[in-house]
Structure 1
Amino acid sequence: MKKIVLSMLLLFLIAGCKNNNTETSANKEGNQLTVWAWDKNFNIPIMEKAGEYYNKENKTKIEVNVVEMSNDDTKQKMVSGFTSGVNEGLPDIVLMDDYDIQNYLSNYEGKFAPLSDAIDFSQFAEYKVDNGTYKKEVYAVPFDSGSAGLYYRTDYLKEAGYTEKDMENLTWSQFLTIGKDVKEKTGKWFLAFIPNRGTHYIQLAMQSAGLWYFDDKQEIFLKNNPAVREMVQILKEINDNQLAKPVDYFAPEGIGAVTNGDVAAVNSAIWFSATIRSAEDQKGKWAYTNLPRLEKTENATPYSNLGGSSWLVLNDSPNKELAIQFLNEIFAGNEEFYQDILLTNGAVGTYKPSQEGDAYLSKDSFFNDKLIYKDFSEWMNEIPPVDYGKNTQAAIDALRSVLQDYFDGKLTLDEMLEEAENNYNAQTGK
């Protein structure tokens, strides 16, 4: 009898343990957010830090599980899940490149959670909010800025006969003249990128004038796009005069060309300052200013954007409400968090209230005690908003396919841009 009682008691205890474990697991699942992001030196530690800030402010703790996932893998896995109808294995929150957002919002309607009623988007940079808006609803919480400027080596420019004052308020034609002098008088490359793949220059130029690859009807807009026409001629002159070291701008050899002291100038975003700063032996030798400005294009400014990303919540996430609450509290409301990631990670957010903190007023000894974060943040608020459309990558590919023929004189400017439009239409089935 005792054996029976003991056996029943043991079974009861085991059952109780199983129930407790199941409950703990369920609670953990309910308080856990899975996030897909790339870059273990930037986006991933920042999101992990966001979880720490949330737990510091809330009694109910959550676990933010950040899964390292490349941008390409992220898109591939999301598309597979969306098209198959299988949501299992998808994240609660996903980081998305700003250039891709409109593509996914329009092609996968209903897959991302609407956020307009939950988050005050008036507190973010307008151009970022516009990019995350589809059919008058905002779906993306803006994150980092791609506010862009011109970085340059003061020692190389001085050797070529130019002062920091000479570098202010440049036009692109003046920029080219300086580049020719730098190469001739110093023997240094002026820039580092492959001209026939220099679509990032075209994108900087377009957004500086409030234009993009597409018109208001989302038709390809190259041949009659004044910013494209003006910038491809600038690229041809860079190519003809061999001003750019021909290395992939985004690859290690492109970065190395800058950090090794091979080049005198870089047109890029605020996030590139971390790369420049990594060359500690060049401290005090770099300065920055506004981008050069287009001359023939109406409404051109010296302000533009390159890159940047935003956070989206999947609509079918079982933790959707928690995910939205988390993003609202930290990425749309915690100024201390933004100050922290600025100083620790070099991240310039697009949440406007955070730009008034002490961190933005910190002097950067690498750039001769200039207020680099304050300056780029102020420029950010002047960036013209544009609609990146659904097929930016297809437009990039179409343009790259014909640029070299234009550089080589095989095609005129009009012929090249018309062929690029035809290639785009063939790619997209227009």
Structure 2
Amino acid sequence: MKKKLISMLLAGAMVLSLAACGGGGGNANGGSGDSGDGGSAQTEGTDENAGGGSSDDNTLTVAAWDPAFNIPALKAAEADYQENVNKDFKLEIKEQSGSKDIETLVTTAASSGNYDTLPDMVLFQDHWIQQYVRDYPDAWQDVNDIDINWDDFYAEKIDYSTIEGKHYGVPLDGGTVISAYRVDLLEEAGYSIDDMKGITWEKFIEVGKAVKEKTGKALLCMNSDGNDLVYMMLQAEGVSQFKDGKPNITGNDTLKQIVQIIVDMTKEGVLLLPNSWSDYTDSAIQGDQVAGVINGNWIIPTIQKVEANSGKWEITTMPTLKGGEGYASNGGSSLYITANCKKTDLAKDFLAYTFGKSTVTYDKALKDGGVVSTYIPAGKSEVYNEGVEFFNNTPIYAQISEMGSHVKTIEQSPYHYTCREKLGAAIINIVNGGDIDEELKNAEDQLNFEMGN
């Protein structure tokens, strides 16, 4: 009961951190595309209108939150299913203001013991779902018998929604990490995009110093109040911040090395650490202060907003400690069937046909909303292999699809965002002169307290 109470409090306390981890719009051609008509999907009000299923035998309700990103993907799926399976099918989208509203829906329904207020399906953040299934097992229906070949999806992605041996979610989007660089600025410093592939972080710092000297710009940036670098750099090494459900900070030599690298990059001017998310996106990236960005692929539309830089960017994989291409994922969500769904067979068939195997759905989701699939065969489609003008006409979405298949599965925790907060604060303290061992110990102690250990 104590852990359940803590998790409910955290769900409210950390909603701001979630906003940074799965957003973004845009389309496959590098613009900020509209939501598309996507068939007859109805998008209703927000928040208070989210609950309840539909009495119509051919209609499903679903709660989602981004009209420029995941909602166009849902509309693409509806149109695909209508055209190829059931012409009378309708998807009634209950638009929310953010992912936190869906978490609140589930918490409220579970607290009252009345799941009638839930829609048939919900889109749910990957880093939260295991806690919610374990705390509120009666709120969900598993999809263990759904007609999907799970081997067609990234193993790392499926790991989030597989709980105690059962599948609960069907992936919608992923957060495969990209290392994006201004190739024109690299060239000024005597380097190319190929020089950035498979390099060590030591070499990255060397390149960063040269770029800083020649162009006056940092090679990398990350908001200090939601620093995802530690998590991404760790995952590229196959290491987690957690072990057997507890913090894995002190005694984690890989984590300590990574924190020291982040501190060194900051002191050398290779890495900018803006104070907030808006400073990160609006000032550092769109304000042309940096020559590179490393984050989930949902950061692409933010990069693309500076039209003057079209054709100057390209992407590759992450650096690693010892060299070799690094792969990670940051952000993403999946679709879940709730206990209130009375048309479970229809929901499973819809999910299996569309997000379970249809490249038609995924092609249109990419074009209309910039949603990059975790369904491996999608990366082989013509749409994914089109050159993107903004990124020097390179097929970045095919590249991202390939990268995602290599991401290592590491231990996850519902306290992911709390850990991020504590480590981010520790990094700032170390940059300002604090002792690395003491600061990491403080971060672990604070995290243990939050977890009730």
**TM-score bin (small chain):** 0.7 to 0.9
1:425 alignment partner in structure 2: 448
1:362 aligns with 2:386: yes
Specify the SS of the correspondent of 2:116.
coil
Q: Report the residue type matching 2:442 in the other structure.
A: E
1:54 partnered with 2:81: yes
Q: Which moved more, 1:150-159 or 1:164-173?
A: 164-173
- What one-letter code is carried by the residue in structure 2 that aligns with 1:76? T
The match for 1:309 among 310, 317, 333 is 333
Map 1:185-334 to 2 at 5 A. 185-194=214-223, 196-197=224-225, 199-215=227-243, 217-247=244-274, 250-251=277-278, 254-295=281-322, 302-334=326-358
**1:402 aligns to 2:402 (yes or no):** no
- In structure 2, the residue matched to 1:18 is none
Deviant stretches of 4+, over 6 Å: none
CA distance in 1 between partners of 2:256 and 2:292 (Å)? 23
8 Å Cα contact 2:237/2:320 also seen in 1: no
The one-letter code of the counterpart of 2:101 is D
Distance in 2 of aligned mates of 1:253 and 1:167? 22
Residue 43 (structure 1) aligned with residue 70 (structure 2): yes
* Structure 1 residue 114 displacement after superposition: 0.9
Quote how far apart the aligned CAs of 1:224 are. 2.1
**Is the 8 Å Cα contact of residues 173 and 332 (structure 2) preserved in structure 1?**
yes
| Equivalent runs, 1:159-178 vs 2, <5 Å | 159-178=188-207
C-alpha separation between the residues in 1 aligned to 2:252 and 2:60? 44
1:135 is displaced (CA, Å) by 0.5
Aligned pair in 2 of structure 1 residues 119, 416: CA closer, same or farther (>3 Å)? farther
The equivalent position to 1:116 in structure 2, one of 116, 130, 144, is: 144
Tell whether the 8 Å contact from 1:192 to 1:254 is kept in structure 2 after alignment. Answer: no
Q: Is it true that 1:386 corresponds to 2:410 in the alignment?
A: yes
8 Å Cα contact 1:148/1:303 also seen in 2: yes
Report SS of the residue matched to 2:242. Answer: coil
Normalising by the residue count of structure 1, what TM-score does the alignment of the two structures yield? 0.87
Matching residue within 342, 346, 361 for 2:366 = 342
Q: Select the residue among 24, 49, 60 that pairs with 1:33.
A: 60
Deviation at 1:198, TM superposition (A): 5.5
CA displacement at 1:30 relative to structure 2:
3.4
- CA–CA separation in structure 1 for the residues paired with 2:419 and 2:54: 46
The alignment yields a C-alpha RMSD, in angstroms, of 2.2
Q: Deviations over 1:370-428 (max 9, x none)?
A: 12111111111111012312321222233234332222223x22222221111111112
Q: 1:106 to 1:213 in 2, by over 3 A?
A: farther
What letter matches 2:320 in structure 1?
A: R
1:376 aligns to 2:376 (yes or no):
no
- Between the aligned partners of 2:362 and 2:86, the Cα distance in structure 1 is 22
Cα distance, 1:306–1:59 mapped onto 2, change above 3 Å: closer
| Range moving further from structure 2, 94-103 or 157-166 | 157-166
Match of 2:160 among 123, 126, 131: 131
Shift of the 119–222 alpha-carbon distance from structure 1 to 2, 3 Å rule, reads: farther
Does residue 98 of the first structure (1) align with residue 126 of the second (2)?
yes
SS at match of 2:93: strand
> Which amino acid counterpart does residue 89 of structure 1 have in structure 2?
T
Q: Amino acid of the residue matched to residue 261 of structure 1?
A: D
Task: Indicate conservation of the 8 Å contact 2:118/2:340, yes or no.
Answer: no
- Give the 3 Å change call, closer, same or farther, for CA 400–59 of structure 1 in structure 2: closer
Separation in structure 1 between the aligned mates of residue 101 and residue 67 of structure 2, nearest angstrom: 15
TM-score for the superposition, normalised by structure 2: 0.82
Q: Where does residue 6 of structure 1 map in the other structure?
A: none
Partner of 2:31: none
**Larger CA deviation: 308-317 vs 400-409:** 400-409
Are the aligned partners of 2:235 and 2:408 in contact in 1 as well (CA < 8 Å)?
Answer: yes
Change (3 A) 1:233 1:374: same
Q: State the secondary structure of the residue aligned to 1:318.
A: coil
Cα distance in 2 for partners of 1:363, 1:93 equals: 35
Alignment size in residue pairs:
399
The 1:395/1:372 distance shift into structure 2, 3 A limit, reads: same
Provide Cα deviations, 1:344-370, integer angstroms capped at 9, x if missing partner. Answer: 332221112222221122122222221
> Could you tell me whether the CA contact under 8 Å between 1:81 and 1:87 is conserved in 2?
yes
In the TM superposition, what whole-angstrom CA distance separates every residue of 1:85-131 from its partner, at most 9, and x where no partner exists? Answer: 12232121111111112221222223221112113222211111111
* Percent identical: 29
Task: Report what 1:22 is aligned to.
Answer: none
Which structure is higher in helix share?
Answer: 1
Tell me if the contact between 2:80 and 2:360 (Cα under 8 Å) persists in the aligned partners: no
Match in the other structure for 2:437: 414
Which of structures 1 and 2 has the bigger CA Rg? 1
Deviation at 1:249, TM superposition (A): 6.5
Give the C-alpha shift of residue 27 in structure 1.
7.8
Following superposition, the deviation at residue 252 of structure 1 comes to 6.5
Query: What runs of 5+ residues in structure 2 fail to find an aligned partner?
Result: 1-52
CA contact (8 A) 1:247 1:254 kept: no
2:33 aligned residue: none
**Residue deviations 1:259-298 (CA, integer Å, cap 9, x gap):** 33221110122222233223222111112211111239xx
CA change 1:134–1:204 in 2 (3 A) is same
